[in-house]
A and B are shown apart, each in its own frame.
Chain A
Amino acid sequence: MEKIIDHSPLLNLLWARQDAKGFISDQDIHDIAEHMDLSFIEVEGVCTFYHFFHRRPAGKFIVYLNNSILSDFSGYAAVRKALETATGAPWNGVDRKGLFGLFDTSCIGLSDQEPAALINFRPFVKLTPEKVQQLVNALRNGVPVDQLADHIENPVRYVPPDGKAVVFREMVPGRALQKLTQMTPEEVIAEVKSSNLRGMGGAFFPVGEKWELCRKQPKTPRYVVCNADEGEPGTFKDRVLMTKLPELLIEGMILGGYAIGANQGIIYLRAEYRYLLPRLEGALDRYRQMGWLGKDIPARKHFDFDIRIQLGAGAYVCGEETALLDSLMGKRGEPWPKVYFPVERGYLGLPTIVNNVESFATAARVIELGAEAFRRLGTPGSPGTRLLSVAGDCSYPGVYEIEWGMSVGELLDLTGAQDPLYLQISGPSGIGISAADRHRRFSFEDLRCGGSVMIFNHKRDLLKILVNFTEFFKEESCGVCTPCRAGNFILSRKLELLSRGLGRGADLEEIRQWGNLMTTASRCGLGKGASNALINAMDKFPVYFQKLVHSKGREKGFDLDSALGDYREAVGIK
């Protein structure tokens, strides 16, 4: 039996140093290692895994510009250039005075308001070169970041008619929790099971079943973990949910805790949503004051439960539940080989349920409204509703609460999509479909959407989208297994060849084979899904890909002039 390594305080210790002076020095690492009785390299290993921890001074104002494809299509390049010009800092570097640091980051959950950036973890949206110039000037003049930060809109564009909304309906704090005084934990589980609610994180595992499996574990204590690490590019519905209805999430976690017999809940909040902390902490405090958190929570059986928030530090892979658990324990967020499930051995090696924000929120509604009412909505395989983050080439980006079973066509019409060509469902790790597939339905049975719909119109360059996705996985792979770490890098080289017009038909076939290999051999879902979008697009748009390649007999696409460029420059040949 393996020893459980618990370095839980480590992330917060690193955050304290990062926040205090904008980077984490060797001395900091040394101090932390000594404090926690670890070796230097263990602390450095954790520190360098998360891209919001810097090992070199990163500026008084640290700017993270989202480099997702939606940001790219909304003017990323111009905003980046404006940032460089206005601050005098190079990209991935700091200006001479150490005032501004400019960095890329993966999607920050503001796809409905791109291009978006975080400056000292405050949000700035719909950036333009002009706005950047004004911002930088204001910051130079000493205006506090808080004062400049944008007020984030959280549009819910659609809820099912006739009172069928599940999540975005009237919220009366405590209404779901009052049921606890009449229900045993087993009854809560039975109710959730009977609703057929499936996890909203993407794996679609039945929520009630997960809770039951956890409750049956002999070991205690048990833990409730909320996955608020919404990192899949294009997804932002949990941001909207946590902003508008943090109470619903908290109630869902309390129900989960009661159901499995846990006393401790943890919300793992991605650092990109750090600005939501006060709001969430405030909501937690209100629940404590109301007596719904803490000791002796009113329930049919004795129940103590509290919730704390752990801030992540920038790593998409921590959205994978086992990586998230390692991160909670102050480690590198590396997914585990599938030997045990978290319900058996989770946080600290103890039984743990990990559900995402929307799953907990929906579970609270299931208890509030009753499983039967819930089951009447949606499709047999996926009852209820689903929150979709819709962004891209449409008139009304925002969150759509759809009843499961809605068709792609219906959604497209609601969003005011202009001339759509291609939809990426569930983010880069999901699948791409043609906008012509209007008949397909969002459901467990057909399109298992993980919560993001990105709409691309006919003017968008498909290859550019796919290159962006591959670069994303190359950055965000945890780096542990060969096919994901090296495979994404190799695929990105291959796509570069296509982008330069040097690809051949055989290259397309190789991309397909290599992508399949990554799916077969990768250790976790990230690697297995990393080539999905690429292979999918090749299936959907074969004519487009054929036009990208050439046939030059038995010669490969080798660009001699380009290969001679460096030499000619070095010796001054024009």
Chain B
Amino acid sequence: MKEKVVSFTIDGKKYQAPEGQSLIKAAEGNGISIPSLCYYEHIDPPLGTCRVCMVKSDGRSFAACTLKVREGMSVEFNTPELNDARKAMVEMLFAEGNHFCPACEKSGDCDLQGLGYRLGVTISRFPHLFLDRVIDYRPKRIVVDHNRCILCRRCVEEVKAEGQYPVFSFLNRGSGTVVQIDYEQEAKLSDNEAMRAMHLCPVGAILVRGKSRPRPRGERKYDLQDAGGDVEQAPIKHSVSVGKNKKVIATTSLAGCFGCHMSLLDIDEELVEIIELVEFNKSPLTDIKTFSKRCDVGIIEGGCCNDENVEVLRAFRANCDVLVAIGECAIWGGLPAMRNVVSLEECLNEAYGHATSDVEEGKVIPHHEDLPELLDRIYGCNEVVEIDYYIPGCPPDASHLWKVLKNIILGTGYSVIKSEFKYD
């Protein structure tokens, strides 16, 4: 039977595709890439789970993967509302799971991360849920890291053991829904089938023991894809008035590793230019401990893990016109936030209770009036004060930092290219 070709429009432009083809596929055939995570071409009916591929037709919103093209269909795709909705879905998945990109084997090869880059996600607008999820080491070949699972359902539909028995299934319901592996069926998978499962997973939730060695940086899927292309960037809202006076900058490292400050130093010879343009006030770079004047820009590395961090951050908000959060830790907690999924008591017991055997009375958790007190979890800076701008990365790329700074200080336009925009 010959396929009937139909005409349809996307954002007013006319295209053609075989009738009944999935809109995602039809758009792709016409050079338009509709972002999606769960879509996997031969799964029919389509999964429609991630809801990233939102488009509108006849005023109603649809997941493009579940729409079939028909003659005269008119589709809206590239509108501010839809672009924001798609970005929001990606941000929601980041907030729902525990995605520590710098510590993930799939980093650089992860579709969720790739979409984050493509859509210019610097921070999730949603509060991170920090749920305690398990890493399942019980299967024979596969390791399932539930922290990273986005419940796209690809593995549930696609991975079958001999006899067509499903290897994965959804368990539970509601906010407690998880993907679970069947140990008996998994053991029947061949090496190749296990590898296929790993590659099918759009994130780093399915790994094969001993096979998931990361590719070196620069050679990973999303290092190579459009590495020179621009990342969509939200405009900076609170630009400092551009004038002749030297701008005043303050910096601090809260619950961070100073790696972001190191990256700041990686600006290299441009540092000389910076010194001409700005003076540093409170900062580990100057060793000035307290604010001595009003600052134009405050640069924050690290999130809040104790009361001192909160105090410093609040002082930065009070004394700086523009606050820039740099690095994953400042943005949403980052690596220290790995402790957010367990209770503080459990963390302290692990560190000081079970580990110290030479103390007579058992566990001694350090506390003293001179020591900061720990918060119940790590808080991203924007949970405590308003933040004006976010530069992601672990650490952020030096040229990204410099471009943003120059924009704030001099008002120069800027664009960030993909290789400067990283979460790891």
A interacts with B: yes
Cβ A479 vs Cβ B384 within 8 A: no
Name, among B48, B93, B169, B175, the residue most crowded by chain A CB atoms within 10 Å (CB to CB).
B175
Q: Is B54 among interface residues, defined by CB-CB distance under 8 A?
A: yes
Q: A474-B174, A563-B375 are in contact. Are A490 and B45 (CB under 8 A)?
A: no
Cβ A523 vs Cβ B173 within 8 A: no
Contact indicator per residue, chain A 536-574, by CB within 8 Å of chain B (1) or not (0): 000000000000000000111010101111111111010
The residue that B171 contacts in the complex, of A45, A317, A334, with Cβ under 8 A, is A45
Q: Is A41 among interface residues, defined by CB-CB distance under 8 A?
A: yes
Name, among A42, A482, A494, the residue most crowded by chain B CB atoms within 10 Å (CB to CB).
A482
**Complexed CA–CA distance, A150 and B255 (Å):** 59
Q: Is B407 among interface residues, defined by CB-CB distance under 8 A?
A: no
**Complexed CA–CA distance, A474 and B93 (Å):** 16
Count residues on chain A whose CB falls below 8 Å from chain B CBs.
63
**Complexed CA–CA distance, A568 and B178 (Å):** 34
Q: Is A191 among interface residues, defined by CB-CB distance under 8 A?
A: no
Interface window among B84-92, B213-221, B415-423: B84-92
A residues in contact with B169, CB < 8 Å: 39, 41-42, 44-45
**Chain B positions 150-171 with a Cβ under 8 Å from a chain A Cβ:** 150-151, 153, 161, 165-171
Instruction: Give A258 Cβ to nearest chain B Cβ, in Å.
Output: 31
Nearest-CB residue, chain A, relative to B353: A570
Q: Is B263 among interface residues, defined by CB-CB distance under 8 A?
A: no
Q: A48-B172, A476-B173, A566-B344 are in contact. Are A556 and B382 (CB under 8 A)?
A: yes
Cβ B92 vs Cβ A490 within 8 A: yes
Q: Is B126 among interface residues, defined by CB-CB distance under 8 A?
A: yes
**Complexed CA–CA distance, A45 and B172 (Å):** 7
The residue that B384 contacts in the complex, of A45, A487, A520, A556, with Cβ under 8 A, is A556
Q: Is B191 among interface residues, defined by CB-CB distance under 8 A?
A: no
A residues in contact with B373, CB < 8 Å: 564, 567-568, 573
The residue that B95 contacts in the complex, of A476, A486, A563, A570, with Cβ under 8 A, is A486
B residues in contact with A490, CB < 8 Å: 92, 95-96, 126-127, 129
Q: Is A51 among interface residues, defined by CB-CB distance under 8 A?
A: yes
**Chain B positions 35-55 with a Cβ under 8 Å from a chain A Cβ:** 44-52, 54
**Complexed CA–CA distance, A487 and B124 (Å):** 13
Q: Is A77 among interface residues, defined by CB-CB distance under 8 A?
A: no
Q: Is B83 among interface residues, defined by CB-CB distance under 8 A?
A: no
Instruction: Give B285 Cβ to nearest chain A Cβ, in Å.
Output: 25
**Chain A positions 488-510 with a Cβ under 8 Å from a chain B Cβ:** 488-490, 493-494, 510
Q: Is A138 among interface residues, defined by CB-CB distance under 8 A?
A: no
The residue that A489 contacts in the complex, of B44, B96, B150, B343, with Cβ under 8 A, is B96
Nearest-CB residue, chain B, relative to A506: B386
**Complexed CA–CA distance, A521 and B87 (Å):** 12
A residues in contact with B211, CB < 8 Å: none
A residues in contact with B173, CB < 8 Å: 48-51, 315, 317, 332, 475-479
Q: Is A256 among interface residues, defined by CB-CB distance under 8 A?
A: no
Q: Is A15 among interface residues, defined by CB-CB distance under 8 A?
A: no
Interface window among A167-175, A197-205, A244-252, A335-343: A335-343
Contact indicator per residue, chain B 370-389, by CB within 8 Å of chain A (1) or not (0): 00011111010011111000
Instruction: Give B172 Cβ to nearest chain A Cβ, in Å.
Output: 5
- 9 closest cross-chain pairs (CB), A and B: A479-B177, A45-B169, A41-B182, A337-B48, A39-B165, A486-B96, A571-B367, A41-B169, A566-B344
Please give the residue numbers on chain B whose beta carbons come within 8 Å of chain A beta carbons, in ascending order. 44-52, 54, 61, 63, 66, 68, 85, 88-89, 92-93, 95-96, 125-127, 129, 150-151, 153, 161, 165-177, 180-182, 184-185, 307, 310, 314, 317, 343-345, 348, 365, 367, 373-377, 379, 382-386
Could you pull out 7 A-B pairs where Cβ atoms are within 8 angstroms?
A41-B181, A44-B169, A332-B173, A482-B93, A486-B96, A555-B386, A571-B367
